[in-house]
Structure 1
Amino acid sequence: MILERSMVETIAAALSAHGLVLRGGFNFAGAEKAPSDLSGATAKSVLLVGQAGAAPWPHFMHWLEKRSQPIDDPLDRWSREVIGAVAGKLGARAVSPSDRPYLPFQQWAMRAEGLKPSPLGILMHPQYGLWHAYRGALLFEDEIALQEPRDMIHLCDTCLEKPCLKSCPVEAYSADGFAHEACLAHVRGQNGEPCRTGGCLDRNACPYCTDYRYPAEVQAFHMAASRVCSVAECRTKS
């Protein structure tokens, strides 16, 4: 069975009501090792769910304000609830970037949307720049009727100055990779207030797609969460 385009559009509409968007998908190859679907069999296809800019923020905050007690990982909890409800109506399995063992969300995203990593490790999108994220995915027992991802312009290839590699006080990003411990030590330290309240200075230095840049309060929320999450989680979820 093939999931028709109309079903994909129905899924997109259901997610849109919460500020979320479908971020592409693909069918797993026959011999490819894929996670299981809801039935426990090997999934045939995956649709990625995410955000562009801060569109989900008011929906998430409305949900959070209704919680009578503080909860751990509230954005994860909200994402799981919303995506899980959509999955439940379709017989799909909902998965999250924070599930253990980790699923290859970044590799899935590059395959689904044709994106490439920026020097910061975050995937660069030609429309959203660095201001997007993946909140979960839907795994199906059927293949999906989808167009192949079109070739994307990789904005980082057109950027000569690379200000994203020159703004961090501790040079956490370099050709050698991400110095996670140095970043954490700085953000937690007495000189880390600009990062804690306004977000990563390197990320904010990127000149592209600034219309989608997260507001300061959203960036502060993610910076607080990044102090306790792994590198793999932070790069897909924020």
Structure 2
Amino acid sequence: MTPDALDQAAQAAGLRLRGMFAPDPDAVLPEGTETLVLLGPDEPRFWPLFAASDEYRTGVADPMDAWSKRVIGALAHDWGGSAIFPSDGPPWPPFIKWATDCAEAWEAPVGLLVHHHAGLFLSFRGAIALPFTVTRPDAFQHPCDTCTDQPCVTACPVGAMGPGQPYDVPRCKTYLRTDAGQNCREDGCLVRRACPVSQEFTRHPEQAAFHMRAFLGN
């Protein structure tokens, strides 16, 4: 299969290819893996598809993980591969390392991963280990290399994220639970939204609020 064929099949399911690479022979992956494909939401189409799913409408536990396992599991079956999910663990699959191995995502100044198309809204719903070689010929440029203003650096209202510092999760969560944090809580992280690439990658407010509720644990 070609990268375009894989991407078209993923898109029909509400997903897109967010990277692929040939893993090292000693990587902890299903035997015979020659290509690892990373899949993320196809924004803004993803949210309406997910919101109409049985997993979301019936209120099952962790509905997005359940949806991902059903949909990506079906793609893996069709492609003759094995599905892998961020929730598989412990030990947890190294999705961040895989993302950078693809050379389609890099570390942004604030420490988050940035993708050439999804910006700081990059996320992965799963991966598929394929027993055949697929080569993606495109070469992608680190979007931060041409971003002169770097608005992400100063976007966090409480300084929970910034250059040269670890992400201060407790400070972020404390702010989100206040009245002042309503903007981030309901419309999504200001740092992610500040990225010029992210601004071209539309995400539904309902989806942003869904992820923030999950992040806060309520």
* TM-score bin (small chain): 0.7 to 0.9
For residues 142-199 of structure 1, what are the alpha-carbon distances to aligned partners after superposition, in whole Å with 9 as ceiling and x for unaligned? 231313551x222223333332122222100022121011111111234322211111
2:214 is aligned to 225
**Match of residue 106, structure 1, among 87, 96, 104:** 96
1:191 matched to 2:191? The reply is no
Three-state SS of the structure 2 residue aligned to 1:130 is: coil
**Match of residue 124, structure 2, among 123, 129, 134:** 134
Q: Work out the CA distance in 2 between the residues paired with 1:92 and 1:180.
A: 36
Three-state SS of the structure 2 residue aligned to 1:191 is: helix
Amino acid at match of 1:163: P
Structure 2: unaligned runs, 5 residues or longer:
none
Amino acid at match of 2:19: G
What pairs with 1:1-238 in structure 2 (closer than 5 Å)?
4-5=1-2, 9-30=4-25, 32-35=26-29, 37=30, 41=31, 43-64=33-54, 67-68=57-58, 70-100=59-89, 101-140=91-130, 142-148=131-137, 150=139, 152-174=140-162, 175-228=164-217
Q: 1:85 to 1:65 in 2, by over 3 A?
A: closer
Q: 1:202 to 1:26 in 2, by over 3 A?
A: closer
Amino acid at match of 2:169: H
**Shift in Å, 1:60:** 0.4
Q: Work out the CA distance in 1 between the residues paired with 2:40 and 2:55.
A: 22
1:232 is aligned to none
Identify the range of structure 1 (20-29 vs 96-105) with the bigger mean alpha-carbon deviation.
20-29
Structure 1: unaligned runs, 5 residues or longer:
230-238
Three-state SS of the structure 2 residue aligned to 1:194 is: helix
Identify the range of structure 1 (59-68 vs 195-204) with the bigger mean alpha-carbon deviation.
59-68
**Shift in Å, 1:53:** 2.7
**Shift in Å, 1:66:** 7.0
Q: How many residues align?
A: 216
Q: Work out the CA distance in 1 between the residues paired with 2:147 and 2:191.
A: 14
Three-state SS of the structure 2 residue aligned to 1:137 is: strand
Three-state SS of the structure 2 residue aligned to 1:98 is: coil
Q: Work out the CA distance in 2 between the residues paired with 1:66 and 1:204.
A: 25
Percentage identity across paired residues of the two chains = 34
CA contact (8 A) 2:155 2:191 kept: yes
CA contact (8 A) 1:120 1:203 kept: no
Runs in 1 of length 4+ with deviation above 4 angstroms? none
Three-state SS of the structure 2 residue aligned to 1:106 is: helix
CA contact (8 A) 1:52 1:133 kept: no
CA contact (8 A) 2:19 2:104 kept: no
Please give the root-mean-square deviation of Cα atoms over the aligned residues, in Å. 2.4
Q: Work out the CA distance in 2 between the residues paired with 1:75 and 1:65.
A: 7
**Shift in Å, 1:64:** 4.2
Q: Work out the CA distance in 2 between the residues paired with 1:184 and 1:72.
A: 22
